[in-house]
Amino acid sequence: MSQPSSTPPASDRLFPLTSQTLLENIQVADQKTREVSLAQFCSLYYPAIYGFGRKLGLSVEDAQDRTQDFFVEVVRDGLLKRFDASRGTRFSSWLMKCFKNLELNHRAASATMKRGGGRTFVEFDADCVEHSYQSAHATNLPMEPAFDLMLARGLWEMTCAHLRAKHAGTTNATLVNELLPHLLAERWPASPAPSQEEVAARHGTTAVRLKAFFNRTLKTQARRLFGESSAHANPGISDHETADLWALLCLYGEG
């Protein structure tokens, strides 16, 4: 997708804070709640932290190592307890500062800490997170909006998985899979992409029915499921914040 001429949504915090609810759940005494909340946090922020490392100039391998080390600090050293929302600091800005300090201190050089010291809290697809970084980098966005965009795309991946699961086993399953890459676009892509008529014929339906399903059903489901994915990953996030995040995602597409 070519770089849009528009600017990101006007907001002081496009993807502001990981909700205070999630941060509090990470620090509770109940082990199950703490572990589930930590897993949510790591799943949400791994691609963006990795991408930030790449934007700092780290190689693929070094960014992977430093990112694993960062999450070891989160899990082992309780890094998130140090964040103070009352100071008005944007949470993602604070995370980037913490990561930069880690890189400057180069604690990852220790053999016992390499790749998280043998402790990987969450497994990630290295190719997928690298693609997320490359896509965000290609937008030429400043550091913080690029960080937000990588977060948004992570939530979009969750949304697509929910959409595939929702339509699995139905007559629309293969059609949904083909339509997913177009859902964030304002209008149907031009040639050389196949036309709606061609897609409809391939799936044994009419262009009119395909347009109705695409615009009224699938896009509506995508927006709702994106909101649900955002709320699940960030318990307590506001509807306004989710709407800002969705707007940023639509502006720059999947990549």
Average pLDDT over residues 129-152: 83
Residue 30, pLDDT > 50, answer: yes
Residue 237 maps to a domain: yes
Residue 168, pLDDT > 70, answer: yes
Residue 80 maps to a domain: yes
More confident: 228 or 106:
228
Overall domain count for the chain: 1
Residue 159 maps to a domain: yes
pLDDT of residue 167: 96
pLDDT of residue 14: 37
Cα–Cα distance for residue pair 204/201, rounded to 1 Å: 5
User: What are the residue ranges of helices labelled H in 56-125?
Assistant: 60-76, 91-105, 114-117
Residue 2 maps to a domain: no
pLDDT tens for 195-207 read 999 999 999 999 9
Residue 11 maps to a domain: no
The DSSP line for 127-159 is HHHHHHHHHHHHTT--HHHHHHHHHHHHHHHHH
- Residue 134's domain comprises 20-252
Model confidence at 33, pLDDT cuts 50, 70, 90, reads confident
Which two tokens mark 61?
Answer: 């391998």
Residue 169 maps to a domain: yes
Average pLDDT over residues 52-57: 89
Residue 82 maps to a domain: yes
Q: How many CB atoms lie within 10 A of CB 134?
A: 12
Residue 68, pLDDT > 50, answer: yes
Q: How many CB atoms lie within 10 A of CB 236?
A: 15
Model confidence at 106, pLDDT cuts 50, 70, 90, reads low
pLDDT of residue 29: 67
Under DSSP, the state recorded for 9 is -
Residue 60 class from Cβ within 10 Å (0-12 exposed, 13-18 middle, 19+ buried)? middle
Residue 12 maps to a domain: no
pLDDT of residue 13: 42
Cα–Cα distance for residue pair 196/166, rounded to 1 Å: 22
